[in-house]
């Protein structure tokens, strides 16, 4: 099960964010206790005054190679569980998200 789905004008992604996580990284896909799939994201920023949310949008924009204005927190701004809307071609974004969530050793194999 994937934590993203097409939406009007782009794609919607379910995230579980870990602020003060030591580094900025996408760590793959996890399943919550209720069965929902989420993309695990960790950021160095603290969850104070929107810093972690800005770090999340910046990380996703850099990873997907889209303008930061194309990434917005749709819900969960004060929660670890967030819904993010990303504007753009849904199929291209889905491919980039899938690649970003692959284990690092598989990404290296595919690059060679």
Question: How far apart, in whole angstroms, are the C-alpha atoms of residue 18 and residue 44?
Answer: 9
Confidence (pTM): 0.88
The encoded tokens of residue 2 equal: 């994937």
Give domain status of residue 111, yes or no: no
The residue among 23, 21, 13 whose CA lies nearest residue 98 is 13
Question: Could you tell me the end-to-end alpha-carbon distance of the chain, in angstroms, rounded to an integer?
Answer: 27
What is the per-residue pLDDT for 105?
58
What is the per-residue pLDDT for 1?
83
Is residue 24 within 8 A of residue 43, CB to CB? The reply is yes
Range of the domain at 34: 4-102
Please give the residue that has the higher pLDDT: either 39 or 107: 39
What is the per-residue pLDDT for 103?
77
pLDDT digits (tens, 9 = 90+) for 61-92: 999 999 999 999 999 999 999 999 999 999 99
Give domain status of residue 109, yes or no: no
Q: What is the CATH number of the domain that holds 87?
A: 3.30.1200.10
pLDDT digits (tens, 9 = 90+) for 16-47: 999 999 999 999 999 999 999 999 999 999 98
Residue with tokens 């996580």: 21
- Stretch (H or E) spanning 51: helix 51-64
Give domain status of residue 107, yes or no: no
Tell me how many domains the chain contains: 1
Give domain status of residue 93, yes or no: yes
Distance from CA of residue 58 to its chain's centroid?
A: 10
């Amino acid at each position: 099960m994937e934590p993203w789905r097409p939406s009007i004008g782009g794609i919607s992604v379910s995230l579980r964010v870990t602020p003060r996580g030591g580094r900025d990284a996408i760590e793959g896909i996890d399943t919550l206790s209720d069965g929902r799939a989420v993309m695990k994201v960790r950021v160095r920023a603290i969850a104070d005054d929107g810093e972690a949310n800005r770090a999340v949008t910046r990380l996703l924009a850099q990873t997907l190679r889209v303008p930061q204005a194309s990434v917005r927190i749709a819900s969960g701004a004060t929660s670890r569980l967030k819904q993010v809307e990303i504007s753009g071609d849904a199929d291209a974004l889905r491919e980039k998200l899938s690649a970003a969530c692959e284990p690092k050793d598989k990404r290296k194999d595919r690059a060679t």
